[in-house]
């Protein structure tokens, strides 16, 4: 019988398997987790196909296209929203002096003979057309040596981009804000001329009782017009006096109506 080796290890014993920990979290597999790959539309895959376009890029392209259409409409019509400028039949003249009627003023005044007493200008721009004329007048009731200066002017504007309706009344009423110690301005509406009209009366002097100017402004659609009469005394020794407010207003209204008819004719 052999003697047992005292240095020999005992044979391996059977170790029962460990029970799983019910509280342990499941562990991900080794390596980064890859998201699922969406299916490729027919015709988009393969080595020769293009990658699908993200949805946000389609949305951005739609915004660009919409902006281009909006800008094209703006440049084509000259207005926002496709609105077209309405000039109520008033046509642009090459010479405003030739279109200005002065029959009513001509009953009291004579046109100055000096050629430099008449001046005007015309301008045609992308957003606004303008035509202007000014006449120097001579008062038939004044003395020959009177140094009084009288002018009547006409200005017409064709607003091709911006509708002047919303600001026209405010522009006329703003004259009153220019009143000071020497000048005073009064604005009142006038019926029966265009879509709206206003009369602005200017008075001068310490007592603000001297008539110095009067303007009749008219808006008809996107067309605006004003005729102005101005009076400047020749000095303290000049006995010339201006007409009454009623007389000037009557002349302004008559010649304004006739001028507007000329611009439509």
Contact status, residue 213 vs residue 203, Cβ threshold 8 Å = no
Give the model's confidence band at 61: pLDDT under 50 very low, under 70 low, under 90 confident, else very high: low
Query: pLDDT by residue (tens digit) across 9-40?
Result: 444 444 444 544 444 444 444 444 455 555 55
Dihedral of CA atoms 197, 200, 201, 202 in degrees, nearest 10, equals -160
pLDDT number for residue 233 = 86
97 or 47, greater pLDDT: 97
Q: Which residue has the tokens 């703003």?
A: 174
Q: Give the CA angle between residues 63, 64, 66 to the nearest 5°.
A: 65
| Average pLDDT for 38-58 | 51
Query: pLDDT by residue (tens digit) across 87-128?
Result: 999 999 988 999 999 999 999 999 886 555 558 899 999 999
Domain ranges across the chain? 56-84, 96-264
pLDDT number for residue 39 = 53
Q: Which residue has the tokens 């029970």?
A: 19
For every residue of the chain, which 3-state class applies, written as one string? CCCCCCCCCCCCCCCCCCCCCCCCCCCCCCCCCCCCCCCCCCCCCCCCCCCCCCHHHHHHHHHHHHHHHHHHHHHHHCCHHHCCCCCCCCCCCCCHHHHCCCCCHHHCEEECCCHHHCEEEEEECCCEEEEEEEEEEEECCCCCCCCCEEEEEEEEEEECCCCCHHHHHHHHHHHHHHCCCCEEEEEEECCCCCCEEEEEEEEECCCCCEEEEEEEEEEECCEEEEEEEEEECCCCCCCCCCCCHHHHHHHHHHHHHHHHHHHHC
What the block records as the tokens of 233 is 């005394």
pLDDT number for residue 30 = 42
* Phi, psi (deg, nearest 5) at residue 217: -110, 135
Kindly report the pTM of this predicted structure: 0.69
């Amino acid at each position: 019988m052999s003697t047992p080796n005292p240095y020999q290890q005992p044979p391996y014993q059977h170790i029962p398997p460990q029970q799983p920990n019910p509280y342990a979290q499941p562990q991900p597999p080794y390596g980064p987790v890859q998201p699922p790959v969406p299916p490729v539309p027919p015709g988009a895959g393969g080595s020769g196909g293009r990658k699908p376009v993200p949805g946000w890029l389609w949305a951005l392209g739609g915004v660009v296209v919409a902006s281009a259409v909006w800008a094209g409409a703006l440049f084509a019509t000259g207005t926002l929203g496709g609105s077209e400028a309405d000039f109520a039949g008033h046509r642009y003249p090459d010479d405003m002096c030739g279109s200005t009627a002065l029959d009513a003023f001509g009953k009291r005044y004579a046109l100055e003979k000096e050629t430099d007493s008449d001046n005007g200008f015309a301008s045609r721009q992308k957003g606004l057309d303008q035509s202007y004329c000014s006449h120097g007048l001579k008062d038939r009731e004044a003395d020959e040596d009177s140094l009084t200066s009288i002018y009547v002017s006409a200005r017409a504007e064709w607003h091709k981009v911006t509708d002047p309706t919303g600001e026209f009344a405010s522009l006329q009423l703003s004259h009153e804000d220019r009143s000071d110690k020497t000048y005073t301005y009064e604005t009142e509406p006038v019926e029966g001329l265009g879509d709206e009209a206003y009369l602005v009366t200017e008075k001068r002097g310490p007592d603000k009782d001297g008539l110095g100017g009067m303007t009749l402004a008219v808006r008809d659609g996107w067309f605006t017009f004003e005729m102005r009469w101005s009076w400047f005394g020749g000095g303290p020794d000049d006995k010339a006096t201006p007409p009454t407010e009623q007389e000037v207003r009557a002349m302004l209204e008559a010649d304004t109506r006739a001028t507007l008819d000329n611009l439509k004719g």
